[in-house]
Amino acid sequence: MPRYLIYAIVFIEGFCSLGAEIIALRRLVPHIGSSIIVTAPTIGFFLLALALGYASGARVAGNYSAIVSRNFLIAAVLAGVGLAGVSVDWMFAHLQPAPVAYLVFIGGVLCPLAWLLGQTVPILTNLMKHERTGEASGMALYWSTLGSFLGSLSLSLIVMQWLGVSAAVFACALGLVIGSLLLAGRTVKTALFSLLTVAVAAGINSQHEVTADTAYAEYIIGNVDIPGQQNPRAFWVNKSTASLIDDAEPPNYTRYIKHLRQILLDDLGFKDKDILVLGAGGFTLSHREPLNRYTYVDIDPAIRGIAEKHFLREPALGEFIADDARRFVATSTRRFDAVVVDVYSSHNSIPSHLVTREFWAGSRRVLKADGILLANLILDGKLESPYARNLLATIESVYGRCAVDVLHKGKKQANVEVSCYASSQPGKTGIYLDEKNQADLDMARSR
């Protein structure tokens, strides 16, 4: 086999194997988030399957081209069908609880795909007859790793951003089919099976009904049935309802947005103030609100255009900055009268780097001396879970005592609105006892 063809095959293997891993991580975000306890095991299982593939490929003693061609075709089917949005959605809808669906996805799609493609380099180096063993394996690994590098960049920064995740899935499946054809030649059987694989991959990936699909999130805008509202529609981000709006005058919004607007506009009487909103959602906080200046920060640069075109159906008020929330509060030189934190990657999952003491200290850093922090959290309605207790304690370790309003108290998961002032400071607390009761003294000192 010509050397350039071997290099082309291992390049495709590297491109598609790492591409499949990136797509798998992205597909998991709407269902179980992107925390380290999700990404680390996923990467670990992928690498384990890849290592087992290396060992399996090392034991192959003949029929090298045909075996790799077969592996590529099977991997193309796994990628084109198993990584499709409708397939992943089906798994998490019908295989409960979510960890069961996760294990089926990893064990039935990602790991077999990695195992098949991992065999490529050790098998094809057997065909490099006129080179030293070290040179043959080194150059094969070079082209495979180069493919992984380019695949990770092009799929995440170009294909997913401009064409969506389904297009990235189809690109991986198509690349593997091309690799199979390069190895197997132009036999009728291989050509027919390859054509069928491409057609199935194209068909199933075109069935993922989303309004927009980017490297960061999938967005769905659709009508909902809410009594008393006029043509209400919802803005779903990674299968979580981020915003609601209808055609009434004035429009109706979600309850937590109404609550935030009441605090800012009615309770505090904000006018001509600078308000920073971390997590854009549907841009409803500033919708038809001309009294103040809003700055939205969201990691996805496409979210504003999606919200304006499909959800608001009019330009969003305020400045938009595409950036990570933590990076922005850590580096910005601007100061705001209010910071609204509304950051979610899926369902009730806040990115883990946005719940730490360091992040809340950064949010305080960009507040003016008399500013206020408003955080929308989704916690258990009784605030009894370890996550609720620890998250609230973390915020108050930076801001001192904060007001906590639980909306939808009757629900298992509720919007919890936390209000903290930049002028407050964490302080020591005591407990009033019958034997030693300083309540009257403290009350006098507080006046």
CA distance 55 to 198: 29
Distance from C-alpha of 271 to C-alpha of 360, rounded to nearest angstrom: 25
Q: How many CA atoms lie within 13 A of 203 on its CB side?
A: 7
Domains in the chain and their CATH numbers? 3-209 (1.20.1250), 253-421 (3.40.50.150)
Distance of CA 392 to the CA centre of its chain: 24
> pLDDT tens digits for 387-406?
999 999 999 999 999 999 99
Give the H/E segment covering residue 61. none
Euclidean distance between the first and the last CA atom of the chain, given in angstroms as a whole number? 88
Q: Give residue-wise pLDDT tens across range 294-338.
A: 999 999 999 999 999 999 999 999 999 999 999 999 999 999 999
Looking at the chain, the number of H-run helices and the number of E-run strands are 17, 11
Instruction: Compute the distance between CA of residue 121 and CA of residue 142 in angstroms, rounded to an integer.
Output: 10
Sign of CA dihedral 22, 23, 28, 33: positive
Enumerate residues 6+ apart whose C-beta is below 8 A from 56. 115, 118, 119
Q: Which residue has the tokens 């951003």?
A: 161
Are 366 and 339 spatial neighbours (Cβ–Cβ below 8 Å)?
yes
pTM value is 0.83
Cβ 176 vs Cβ 75: under 8 Å: yes
**One-letter amino acid for residue 374 of the chain:** L
pLDDT at 339 over 70: yes
Distance in angstroms (rounded) separating the CA atoms of residues 390 and 151 = 40
Structure tokens at 229: 């509202």
d(CA 5, CA 307): 46
Helices marked H in 314-355 — which ranges?
Answer: 325-331
Q: Which backbone phi and psi does 117 adopt, to 5 degrees? A: -75, -25
Residue 41's pLDDT band (boundaries 50, 70, 90)? very high
Mean pLDDT confidence for 191-212: 88
Query: What's the mean pLDDT when you consider all of the chain?
Result: 91
Average pLDDT value for residue range 92-98: 91
Provide DSSP, 88-104: HHHHHHHS-SHHHHHHH
Q: How confident is residue 22, by pLDDT bands cut at 50, 70 and 90?
A: very high
